[in-house]
Amino acid sequence: MSADTNLMPIPGPVDPVPVPRAAPVRADGRVELVGLSREAIRDALGAAGMDVRQAKLRAKQLWHWIYNRGVTDFALMTDIAKAQQPWLAERFSISRPGVVEAQVSTDGTRKWLLKTDDGHEFEAVFIPDADRGTLCVSSQVGCTLNCRFCHTGTMRLVRNLEPHEIVGQVMLARDALGEWPSQPEGRMLTNIVMMGMGEPLYNFDNVRDALKIVMDGDGLGLSKRRITLSTSGVVPMMARAGEEIGVNLAVSLHAVTKEIRDEIVPLNRKYGIEELLQACANYPGANNARRITFEYVMLRDKNDSDEHARELVRLIRHYRLPAKVNLIPFNPWPGAPYECSTDERIRAFSNIIFEAGISAPVRTPRGRDIDAACGQLKTAAEKRSRAALDREQAA
């Protein structure tokens, strides 16, 4: 059964776009190979007329060229007969998302504004650190969930990204960092977080298929221990995420009372805190060595009191969760209805959790100067159209 979470009605201050548009077939009629499993590549070759035995061998070779070597041109595939290369090129493509703009922050963070073939913009962010490099990957164009503190949630257009558009973000970052062929040692891009635009568990099948390719040992070769999927709490999909994808889980908790979470994460009206934490307790693969990360955005005078911190500790203990807490200073955007908590407040909040024996680091915002920090992702086109709307309204 395919996970048709696309059409779930979500209560919230703004009605979600009910039916995300399907990704169109390529205008030139060619089949995109990126994002397909080995078997699907083999079947696509067969459907184009290649005989079964050859298709199996070619699929294996193509997989290696695409995911291990990063090659996008069939003419460079030296173990495929010269005469067959144009035959492949006519029928298939190996592409990357279009790059509208690539920016580099003063702190080394990179942001790519990307575009799908049908003209929708989305973003990916690379955050280099001393001992690792993390790519923040988007799962949707926009997001239907309308969390009140999140800029992405205000985008009007929403479409699920296809597997090739999700894997494509990783491949494009590898291109930019010069990290082909895939090698286990000395990489800059070591970790992936599904924390860009969109709710990954509302695009389950595509995210799973994409991450399977990212984790394939003969492909991009990133371990599931270095991949984290962040959800705002799509409870019915969490067990499947653990079973079928098996990556680390991060949960955007952000509040410990129904009243406050209902306000800032409207999905809470559908799946409440108790249900969510129970699903975390049952998450396959979570244990003390692989903890669940609870993300908590620090909103001034909203969710940041000592009492809230103590309640958070109580909940974690009550559900016996192998947990760490990530405190995220709120990143403001124009027109946002909240402010960030003060530094002292964040420190006091963190101390209470820390003193209960739970790790609670405060995340340093990265790439703020290029609007690359958490929750700031919203494409320039959307900002422009918003500005245009405001002008129309003012006129």
Q: Order of strands, edge to edge, in the sheet holding 191-194?
A: 98-104, 110-115, 121-128, 133-136, 191-194, 227-231, 248-252, 292-298, 323-329
What backbone phi and psi angles, to 5 degrees, belong to 73? -115, 120
CB of 30 or CB of 240, closer to ligand SF4 = 240
- 263 as an active site residue: the answer is no
Residue 232 is a binding residue for ligand SF4 (CB under 6 A) = yes
Partner from ligand SAH, ligand SF4, none binding residue 330, C-beta < 5-8 Å depending on class: ligand SAH
Give the burial string for 373-387 (b: 16+ CB within 10 Å, else e).
Answer: bbbbbbbebbbeebe
Cross-strand bridge partners of residue 298: 329
Residue 150 is a binding residue for ligand SF4 (CB under 6 A) = yes
Residue 263 is a binding residue for ligand SF4 (CB under 6 A) = no
The position carrying tokens 């960092």 is 177
Q: Which of 370, 349, 369 is nearest to 361 (CA)?
A: 349
For 357, other C-beta atoms within 10 Å of its C-beta total 9
DSSP string, 89-118: HHHEE---PEEEEEEE-TTS-EEEEEE-TT
Query: Which among 136, 280, 340, 374 is annotated as catalytic?
Result: 374
Part of the chain binding ligand SF4 (CB under 6 A), chosen from 21-29, 49-57, 138-146, 168-176: 138-146
In terms of DSSP bridges, do strands 92-93 and 31-32 run parallel, antiparallel, or are they unpaired? parallel
Residue 145 is a binding residue for ligand SF4 (CB under 6 A) = yes
CB of 116 or CB of 376, closer to ligand SAH = 376
Residue type, position 237, single letter: M
> In the stretch 178-197, what mask flags binding to ligand SAH with x, by CB under 6 A?
-----------------x--
Positions 327 through 346 that interact with ligand SAH (CB under 6 A): 328, 330-331
In the complex, the smallest distance separating the C-beta of residue 316 from ligand SAH, rounded to whole angstroms, is 17
Question: Which of 36, 168, 375, 378 lies at the binding interface for ligand SAH (CB under 6 A)?
Answer: 375
> In the stretch 194-223, what mask flags binding to ligand SF4 with x, by CB under 6 A?
----xx------------------------
CA atoms within 13 A on the CB side of 115: 11
Positions 38 through 77 that interact with ligand SAH (CB under 6 A): none
Task: Go through the chain and tell me how many residues it has.
Answer: 395
CB of 42 or CB of 302, closer to ligand SAH = 302
- In eight-state DSSP terms, residue 272 is -
Residue type, position 68, single letter: N
The annotation status of 33 as a binding-site residue, yes or no, is no
3-state secondary structure of 23: coil
> In the stretch 246-265, what mask flags binding to ligand SAH with x, by CB under 6 A?
------x-------------
323: Cα separation from own chain's centroid? 21
Partner from ligand SF4, ligand SAH, none binding residue 313, C-beta < 5-8 Å depending on class: none
In the complex, the smallest distance separating the C-beta of residue 380 from ligand SAH, rounded to whole angstroms, is 17
3-state secondary structure of 247: coil
CA distances to 24, 100, 136, 176, 386 from 119, rounded to whole Å, are: 11, 10, 21, 22, 17
Residues with Cβ < 8 Å from 81, sequence gap 6 or more? none
Residue 122 is a binding residue for ligand SAH (CB under 6 A) = no
Residue 150 is a binding residue for ligand SAH (CB under 6 A) = yes
- 136 as an active site residue: the answer is no
Count of residues engaged in binding ligand SF4, rule: CB under 6 A: 11
Tokens of 159: 């479409």
Asked if residue 214 lies in contact with residue 236, where contact means CB atoms within 8 angstroms, the answer is no
The annotation status of 252 as a binding-site residue, yes or no, is yes
In the complex, the smallest distance separating the C-beta of residue 78 from ligand SAH, rounded to whole angstroms, is 41
So which residues are the catalytic ones? 123, 374
Q: Which residues are annotated as a binding site for [4Fe-4S] cluster?
A: 143, 147, 150
Contact positions vs ligand SF4 (CB under 6 A) = 143, 145-147, 150, 152-153, 198-199, 232, 252
Binding site for S-adenosyl-L-methionine, by residue number, is: 198-199, 230, 252-254, 331
Given the rule CB under 6 A, which residues bind ligand SAH?
Answer: 147, 149-150, 195, 199, 230-232, 252, 295, 297, 328, 330-331, 374-375
